[in-house]
Copies of this chain bind each other. A is one copy, B any other.
């Protein structure tokens, strides 16, 4: 990429008001303005260009990026580590299995104790509905209190690495992929997106991806269709937000219980399993009361219910229905691939194989998206910082 082009991208960033992002948490995309969302994409693209130009984007000589992962994660863990490393931050993970947090420390105390040197706190907590986002807010409030009380020298922002409601680092990586695939955000107006439930032999997959997708993609003038079998509804507030955003941006929002209908003439499809919101609520309550027997019964019931919808699969026939039989297939990975990772799953292996390379490109944006979120929350004038970096470049590899 030419230096001129990247400089142009940095100049365009100046026109976007990112002042409200400074020292702010990133919980849900719908809490951010269009300019703020655009700024994340812009900074992510600049950072990617910097890497290709061998320009180091390191803005810290030392500093800590804290991470809290309440469940297993490979790609998000690596993306967060890569984003921090790019900027010069060292990741310190709060491993609840090897820390005293298990011994009854309050959220407030732990949050303070791990944040004395923290520049940013990334959290993944998506397992229980009503819990993940609540936990992140508690941490953020504790950090604010610590700062207000002059216990912390600064207020490290919280970055949502997936909660029970939204998964902004994922959906923004997805969206940046879509923007590049269609040659610019200006080409998305009128495109049809099918965010569809798909069958999976496992139960209890988080709602944050479908919710995050309709919450974010609805901002770009697209025709959004959410498809799922009866009973698999997502959070009402998110749907309302998505519907409103779609209307405002000149698109539309619709729900259907037919995958076929959703796929008809779609330009983008995102077939993915999730658990019904009501089931997730029930599961959270049972898990908290420690009722293992009822949890087992719930799982059994859900799997039986799921099994009625094995035809919700992204097959070649289903793809045929899309615009020119050529819709862009999205997935957050890993997918349940029929005959590969399971007997029957979300997607036919021939479809998945055809989109494997684009899917991996989609995933490759995540480290840059996370780094952009961090950068925008830490620097009041991001374009000035990026200009410094490009004008007096320091090589990443010597």
Contacts and interface: CB of A to CB of B under 8 A. Distances in A.
Interface of A: 51-52, 56-64, 69, 72-75, 77-79, 81-82, 85-86, 88, 90, 92, 94, 98-106, 109-110, 112-114, 116-117, 146, 149-153, 333-334, 340-342, 357, 360-361, 363-364, 366-367, 378, 385, 388, 394-398
Contacts of A105: 74, 334, 341
A334 B72 contact: no
Contact of A62 (B79, B86, B102, B363): B86
B113 A60 contact: no
A74 B99 contact: yes
Contact of A113 (B78, B149, B152, B341): B78
A397 to B, nearest CB: 6
A342 B106 CA distance: 12
A141 to B, nearest CB: 14
A379 to B, nearest CB: 9
Contacts of A340: 106
B100 A90 contact: no
A61 B52 contact: no
Contacts of A59: 397-398
A113 B363 contact: yes
Nearest to A146: B360
Contact of A394 (B61, B63, B151): B61
B64 A361 contact: no
Given A74-B100, A99-B74, A367-B117, A357 B151 contact: yes
B85 A334 contact: no
Contacts of A101: 74
Contacts of A56: 61-62
Q: Of A57, A86, A116, which is in contact with the most chain B CB atoms at under 10 Å from its CB? A: A116
A104 B334 contact: yes
A62 to B, nearest CB: 5
24 contacts: A56-B61, A56-B62, A60-B397, A62-B86, A62-B396, A63-B396, A63-B397, A64-B78, A72-B100, A72-B102, A73-B98, A73-B100, A74-B105, A75-B100, A78-B94, A79-B116, A82-B117, A103-B334, A104-B342, A105-B341, A106-B340, A113-B360, A149-B357, A388-B398
